Structure 1
Amino acid sequence: MSQTQYTEENIRSLDWKEHIRMRPGMYIGKLGDGSSPDDGIYILLKEVIDNCIDEFVMGAGKTIEIRIKDKEVKVRDYGRGIPLGKVVDVVSKMNTGGKYDTRAFKKSVGLNGVGTKAVNALSSYFRVESVRDGKLKTAEFELGELKKDSDLEDSSKRKGTKVIFVPDEGIFKHYKYRTEYVAKMLRNYVYLNPGLTIDFNGEKFYSENGLKDLLEDNMSVDDMLYPVIHLKGDDIEVALTHHKTQYSEEYHSFVNGQNTTQGGTHQAAFRESIVKTIREFYGKNYDASDVRKSIVAAISIKVMEPVFESQTKTKLGSTEMGGDLPTVRTYINDFVKTQLDNYLHKNPEVADKIQRKIMMAEKERKELSGIRKLARERAKKASLHNKKLRDCRVHLGDMKKDQRLDTTLFITEGDSASGSITKSRDVNTQAVFSLRGKPLNSYGMSKKVVYENEEFNLLQAALNIEESIEDLRYNNIVIATDADVDGMHIRLLLITFFLQFFPELIKEGHLYILQTPLFRVRNKKETIYCYSEQERIDAIEKLKPKPEITRFKGLGEISPDEFQHFIGDDMRLDPVMLDKSMSIEEMLSFYMGKNTPDRQEFIINNLKVELDKVEE
């Protein structure tokens, strides 16, 4: 057996775009199809916007215009414009960018000049225009290859930069931009940059009061125990209140304008400093979980040369603020101790409400402790032979945050559907939890029911979210029920359970509905699965003259061999999102409360009679 020669010819140097296209995950995290807020297509958009934000921070350009139509994205700022001689280099040469000059960008958010290059390399079409000093420079690329490099032209347009790109469908399969996710991202940008206007497809986003606006826009006044406490310092801003009914704590955290969805050193220090300050203010050693129960808060800090735990910057790893400032922990602790303590002294009625809330949380926790103990013992016994959960091998907490695989828990009803998914799933990353019939309507019930109801207790144990969402074992929780009346009812009951007790799972984009095909259209050569009436019509047209058409009535009818097509790479998921205009309490009472005349009227007004025109 001859040994393979290892010579200079074996060492291949990839050029910048090949490297990004071969390892896109290194640059933008996961790829995805747009159904999750951290999918790659949103990271591409974010990278382009980050450059516009840096211009705003430097005092250049107060408006950013964004247009997304189908798959094409346009972003225009009115900053200083990329220096005209560097337009091609800035978007196509690694390690070229203005972010290295720390005088210009002391606390910038951009990806060290990698951002727009990654967007360029991962787009089937990419165009950049820069207007500066009355001149316009344009360059066009396809998959990172320069196709057109125009000469300088005279221009009367306002100065600034415009980027147009179309993410490559070869990399981002079946993708679509969801306006809800884009809007949330843009809101965060304006909260962090008061005075900036972002115009997205004609809708304007603007904030005057920063993080105070963030909290007030995310919850209704009726849900707040007291008005938002808003505290600002040189490199720090915090806002907090307590929710009247929510069980969990909820944090929005940012570093240098970057939304750190996975927290980090700053968020940990913030949580710790709230507890410390409140204990000292009341002179009582309250349990930390009682202090933080139902808290809704936001923190934004600016750090010099931040260290993140992953390329997509969702978790801060830095312990230092930079310069001559103390550590992140000390800086946040000192700020919260001084400012929050002052606030509570000046606002005794708020201090009183917080103390009553803490005492109530303590009382509830003690009442629950006995039930918890019993429930845990039951869950322990059950997990030895937990018939409901067919687990997978790898879980979310097993990996470093920046190497996380997408792990999924399918919640199914009935044996046949559970059986089909169990046989066709990927046993490494996909688990199945089977429901027996319809779960309980948990609307208006206390947390006790989670422990007393065996099904909910086992579901909570499977997800590992009893203490905190930090320990969640699966990134995606997917409700997989039939698309009939019973299936829809089960979906509603499950969503009610999560909204009532674990709303942060929905707020952080972990809950989905599985889309399954309504029809199969096939001939001898090809099979097409159709998720809508239009797709069925298109498939019949494609496979004519006489394809065979099957209508799927329920998940149980789909064989395991076929099921793997719907839960593999081409899996289609609909994210469960919250409607900003309605509080959780209002929504639950309307849909899941007593049968009110309002709801009857809503049903009558929205009733659609659909005749099944499909030939069986």
Structure 2
Amino acid sequence: MEQRKSLAKGDYSANNIQVLEGLEAVRKRPAMYIGDVGIRGLHHLVWEVVDNSIDEALAGYCDDIHVEINKDNSITVSDNGRGIPTDIHEKEQRSALEVVMTVLHAGGKFDKDTYKVSGGLHGVGVSCVNALSTHLKATVHRNGIIYQQEYEKGIPMYPVKEVGKTDINGTIITFMPDSSIFTHSEYKYDTVASRLRELSFLNSGIKLNLIDHREQDENGADLTDEFFSTGGLKEFVLYLDSTRERLIPEPIHLNNEKGEIPVEVALNYNTSYTENVVSYVNNINTIEGGTHVAGFRRALTRTLKSYADKSGLLEKAKVEITGDDFREGLTAVISIKVAEPQFEGQTKTKLGNSDAMGAVDTSLSEALQEYLEEHPKEAKQIISKVILAAQARQAARKAREMVQRKNVLSGTGLPGKLADCSDKDPAVCEIYLVEGDSAGGSAKQGRNRKFQAILPLRGKILNVEKAQEHKIYDNDEIKNIITALGVRFGMEDDARALNMEKLRYHKIIIMTDADIDGSHIRTLILTFFFRYMRSLIENGYLYIALPPLYLIKKGKQERYAWTEDDRLSIIRELAPEGKEDSVNVQRYKGLGEMNPEQLWTTTMDPESRSLKLVTIDSAAEADHLFSMLMGDEVAPRRDFIEKNAKYAKVDV
């Protein structure tokens, strides 16, 4: 791919590369470095390489990044940065390119003069990618020369060599993940596109291009997307709220680059009942928040309350206002850049830097105060929304207390329909949320009563995306889920936060029919968990059961198929001579079609079942998807269905 000229010249050489330790353990314990060896770990390799290019952009030397998914599912990432240094590293006495590619914790991230801020904080990224790839090729355009080195499982195939002349700067990395390490080998276009879109909003002015050579559009051209933002977080908030009705016409936006910690914040209010605050530090999604989010909440509450008090808008309301009320219907994105971020835990999901709180608090307070004074009409709309939220919160609190009081008054307080398990250790216990009484009956008979509980759900639960919070606790099926799980709402700093101290099961399994209605019910349940019990997802407690789609019989032989490919493969196996008429294929549309023994064997037996762990790769994308699928706006949902219609399967 053609490389663009770099934006500026900087002193970036082998002396900037600092080596901390070797690369030995990566192939033995890959999950320690990239999280897991499943689909998330596979995509994490792409993020690590792209992060290096983004870091070049943050340093001011790159504005064009390309990501290509090749036909063989290898990945190529190229940029127009300065190019990885290739001169001899003084300590290692070999090319700095080889050091960066083969030594763990080696990179420019540890040298403050090279990168002021960096997402790839630990410098393990590209060397880990190399170690976990069967083949990787690094091509560097630098100082008028094209340099190249290739590796197999992290080991150089030859020393860095010159392969040509060039008048551009940049780095090209092509790698093939090792299929003996990863359980998945196929990259998902939408997953990569989602991350690149996110990065474009977080780094305005940088062009991110995605090309998929595996799939062509209607014109026969490779599938492509270009992500480029000039408005930054303001455009990000508009994207997140594109499926909702806005309360104010334009987001409130601040971009403060003064001081040691640059702060960018955009926020908007909509007519929904949920809060959606997404935060980033050096482009890393801090899903657990941290000091920057605490500073945001403190400034928002204090500034809005002060304005409301001065304007007299609260006098007639006769309702106590709390911090929660200022965040109902709020969509906000917080992005800060920190030279030395301190994250709590290995996952980099919660920021601990104390100075970040003050930086965000001060910046937002000033910007928000100025906005409220200059936009009195919008300010009044926001405060009116806050008052309604306070009134609804009081009703919701009473509804929550009623649900939770029921637990105390009636002993266990467990729903009558719950068939509980005998073991009381949450770590080994699991509960199936089953669609319908019929399937619930089969599940109760087929289960292992020691550790498996069954809660049948009647019909479709309430769509929480369109309902006020107090209405949710009035819904019988939702009340049953809450009481069966044993969780409570309300923590010291957040009345809506989930208290999981008395959680009764560490596996919560959604089991619905494999038809359109079953998919809808599953989405309704997932929406409820995402909006009101997200910490259960973040802790890895929520799963989806995968009942088989087909029962295939030939004579006394019976085989189950979970996918269309499984079905075809089994038919070919049972009828090798092409006599498909001798094979009987039964399509399961409902769980109730299986007897208890079949349901146990296919869907509930830990030895043979398939479960999908529900995860949140991007909270922002998840929010956008749920609000689009389950919200009031029809047009975005119609566009989504039309775009994805070719992937749908029709039940006949």
TM-score (structure 1 length as normaliser): 0.78
Which amino acid letter does the alignment assign opposite residue 560 of structure 1? Answer: W
Q: Please report how far the alpha carbon of residue 60 of structure 1 lies from its aligned counterpart in structure 2 after TM superposition.
A: 1.9
Matched, 1:434 2:455: yes
- From 479, 488, 492, give the equivalent of 2:510: 479
Give the secondary-structure state (helix, strand or coil) at the position aligned to 2:180.
Answer: coil
Counterpart Cα distance in 2 of 1:87 and 1:23: 24
Task: Give % identity.
Answer: 30
- Whether the aligned pair in 2 keeps the contact of 1:127 and 1:141 (CA below 8 Å) is yes
Compared with structure 1, are the counterparts of its residues 77 and 568 closer, same or farther at alpha carbon in structure 2 (3 Å cutoff)?
farther
Give the secondary-structure state (helix, strand or coil) at the position aligned to 1:94.
Answer: coil
- Whether the aligned pair in 1 keeps the contact of 2:104 and 2:128 (CA below 8 Å) is no
> Match for residue 358 of structure 1?
386
Matched, 1:375 2:403: yes
- From 437, 441, 448, give the equivalent of 1:423: 448
Listed as ranges, the matches of 1:143-542 within 5 Å are 143-149=153-159, 151-156=161-166, 158-201=168-211, 202-220=224-242, 223-226=245-248, 227-234=250-257, 235-245=262-272, 247-283=273-309, 286-319=321-354, 327-380=355-408, 381=410, 383-386=412-415, 388=418, 410-413=432-435, 414-416=439-441, 418-419=443-444, 422-423=447-448, 434-442=455-463, 445-461=467-483, 462=485, 464=487, 466=489, 467-468=495-496, 478-484=509-515, 487-488=518-519, 490-491=521-522, 493-494=524-525, 502=532, 513-519=544-550, 530-541=561-572
Counterpart Cα distance in 2 of 1:505 and 1:469: 9
Q: Please report how far the alpha carbon of residue 410 of structure 1 lies from its aligned counterpart in structure 2 after TM superposition.
A: 4.6
Compared with structure 1, are the counterparts of its residues 548 and 17 closer, same or farther at alpha carbon in structure 2 (3 Å cutoff)?
farther
Q: Please report how far the alpha carbon of residue 359 of structure 1 lies from its aligned counterpart in structure 2 after TM superposition.
A: 0.8
Counterpart Cα distance in 2 of 1:240 and 1:296: 6
Counterpart Cα distance in 1 of 2:200 and 2:648: 39
Counterpart Cα distance in 1 of 2:184 and 2:293: 35
Counterpart Cα distance in 2 of 1:257 and 1:78: 19
> Match for residue 129 of structure 1?
139
Counterpart Cα distance in 2 of 1:195 and 1:408: 48
- Whether the aligned pair in 2 keeps the contact of 1:192 and 1:257 (CA below 8 Å) is yes
Counterpart Cα distance in 1 of 2:624 and 2:322: 32
Counterpart Cα distance in 2 of 1:459 and 1:63: 48
Counterpart Cα distance in 2 of 1:231 and 1:314: 23
Counterpart Cα distance in 2 of 1:290 and 1:152: 62
> Match for residue 76 of structure 1?
78
Greater mean alpha carbon deviation, residues 362-371 or residues 83-92: 362-371
Counterpart Cα distance in 1 of 2:398 and 2:193: 44
Q: What's the CA shift string for 1:350-377, capped at 9, x where partnerless?
A: 2101110111111212334433332222
Return 5+ residue gaps in structure 2 as ranges: 1-20, 87-94, 212-223, 315-319, 490-494
- Whether the aligned pair in 1 keeps the contact of 2:290 and 2:350 (CA below 8 Å) is yes
- Whether the aligned pair in 2 keeps the contact of 1:521 and 1:527 (CA below 8 Å) is yes
Which amino acid letter does the alignment assign opposite residue 388 of structure 1? Answer: L
Give the secondary-structure state (helix, strand or coil) at the position aligned to 2:129.
Answer: helix
- Whether the aligned pair in 2 keeps the contact of 1:125 and 1:143 (CA below 8 Å) is yes
- Whether the aligned pair in 1 keeps the contact of 2:603 and 2:610 (CA below 8 Å) is no
Q: What's the CA shift string for 1:378-425, capped at 9, x where partnerless?
A: 244475444537589787xx9xxxxxx9x9865323325544885399
Which amino acid letter does the alignment assign opposite residue 359 of structure 1? Answer: I
Q: Please report how far the alpha carbon of residue 81 of structure 1 lies from its aligned counterpart in structure 2 after TM superposition.
A: 1.0
Compared with structure 1, are the counterparts of its residues 57 and 434 closer, same or farther at alpha carbon in structure 2 (3 Å cutoff)?
same
Compared with structure 1, are the counterparts of its residues 25 and 463 closer, same or farther at alpha carbon in structure 2 (3 Å cutoff)?
farther
- From 28, 53, 59, give the equivalent of 2:34: 28
Counterpart Cα distance in 2 of 1:228 and 1:281: 18
Compared with structure 1, are the counterparts of its residues 493 and 197 closer, same or farther at alpha carbon in structure 2 (3 Å cutoff)?
closer
Greater mean alpha carbon deviation, residues 453-462 or residues 578-587: 578-587
Two-structure CA RMSD over aligned residues (Å): 4.3
Give the secondary-structure state (helix, strand or coil) at the position aligned to 2:96.
Answer: helix
Which amino acid letter does the alignment assign opposite residue 80 of structure 2? Answer: Y
> Match for residue 9 of structure 1?
none
Counterpart Cα distance in 2 of 1:563 and 1:369: 38
> Match for residue 97 of structure 1?
107
Give the secondary-structure state (helix, strand or coil) at the position aligned to 2:393.
Answer: helix
Q: Please report how far the alpha carbon of residue 503 of structure 1 lies from its aligned counterpart in structure 2 after TM superposition.
A: 10
Which amino acid letter does the alignment assign opposite residue 600 of structure 2? Answer: P
- Whether the aligned pair in 2 keeps the contact of 1:229 and 1:241 (CA below 8 Å) is yes
Which amino acid letter does the alignment assign opposite residue 254 of structure 1? Answer: Y
Q: What's the CA shift string for 1:51-99, capped at 9, x where partnerless?
A: 1011112222211000124632111111111112322211111232111
Compared with structure 1, are the counterparts of its residues 489 and 42 closer, same or farther at alpha carbon in structure 2 (3 Å cutoff)?
closer
Compared with structure 1, are the counterparts of its residues 265 and 363 closer, same or farther at alpha carbon in structure 2 (3 Å cutoff)?
same
Q: Please report how far the alpha carbon of residue 17 of structure 1 lies from its aligned counterpart in structure 2 after TM superposition.
A: 4.2
Which amino acid letter does the alignment assign opposite residue 329 of structure 2? Answer: S
Counterpart Cα distance in 2 of 1:529 and 1:171: 28
Q: Please report how far the alpha carbon of residue 492 of structure 1 lies from its aligned counterpart in structure 2 after TM superposition.
A: 5.3
Compared with structure 1, are the counterparts of its residues 368 and 565 closer, same or farther at alpha carbon in structure 2 (3 Å cutoff)?
closer
- Whether the aligned pair in 1 keeps the contact of 2:444 and 2:454 (CA below 8 Å) is no
Number of equivalenced pairs? 562
- Whether the aligned pair in 2 keeps the contact of 1:29 and 1:311 (CA below 8 Å) is no
Counterpart Cα distance in 2 of 1:143 and 1:410: 42
Counterpart Cα distance in 2 of 1:230 and 1:359: 23
Counterpart Cα distance in 2 of 1:605 and 1:50: 33
Q: Please report how far the alpha carbon of residue 343 of structure 1 lies from its aligned counterpart in structure 2 after TM superposition.
A: 1.4
Give the secondary-structure state (helix, strand or coil) at the position aligned to 2:342.
Answer: coil
- From 603, 626, 633, give the equivalent of 1:563: 603
